[in-house]
Amino acid sequence: MKTTFTTERLIASAMTRDDQYELFPIWSDPAVTKWMNIEPFETVEEARAMIDWMNDQPDAIRYTVRCEGEVLGSCGFQQMTETAAEIGYELKKSAWRQRFGTEIVDALLRLARQTEWTHVVAWIDEQNEPSIRLVERFGFTPDGTRAEDGTVRYVFRLTDPSV
């Protein structure tokens, strides 16, 4: 899997510990973490631990997303197998509703097309309507639900991302 990718406005590179200070304000914002399945961070050390944890996952790659040098959030793949992967992404609140999510998902799907995956999934909180609409625009379809810690998440599946 590539360690960097670009879109019209964004540059994404594999997440490193150097990103902890810029990701901390994003991961400490309750408006953002509400959709991330984590509690808002209280210290930079928690951001560093999250980066270390993500980078230690053998079946994942996470990218720090920047626009004109400013960190907007992160994205990537997790639970990668020979046939499938899950996409994930989050943006700081000031970057919402500016089509950055569209650029990110498009880029992730371009990367997915370079694999032999038969499908890509996204787990999205049932109340996160903007994210649901986003993946549906790319052809993801509902494929069940998962309840975790009192939160219901929809499973969206895109079959044959190579198309």
Encode pLDDT of 117-139 as tens digits: 999 999 999 899 999 999 999 99
Model pLDDT for residues 69-92, shown as the tens digit of each residue? 999 999 999 999 999 999 999 999
**pLDDT attached to residue 162:** 66
**pLDDT attached to residue 160:** 79
pTM exceeds 0.75, yes or no: yes
Domains and CATH numbers, the chain: 4-117 (3.40.630.30)
As to burial, measured by CB atoms within 10 angstroms (0-12 exposed, 13-18 middle, 19+ buried), residue 133 is exposed
For the chain, helix, strand, coil in percent to 5 are 35, 35, 35
The whole-angstrom distance between residue 113's C-alpha and the CA centroid of its chain comes to 17
Contact 156, 132 (CB under 8 A): yes
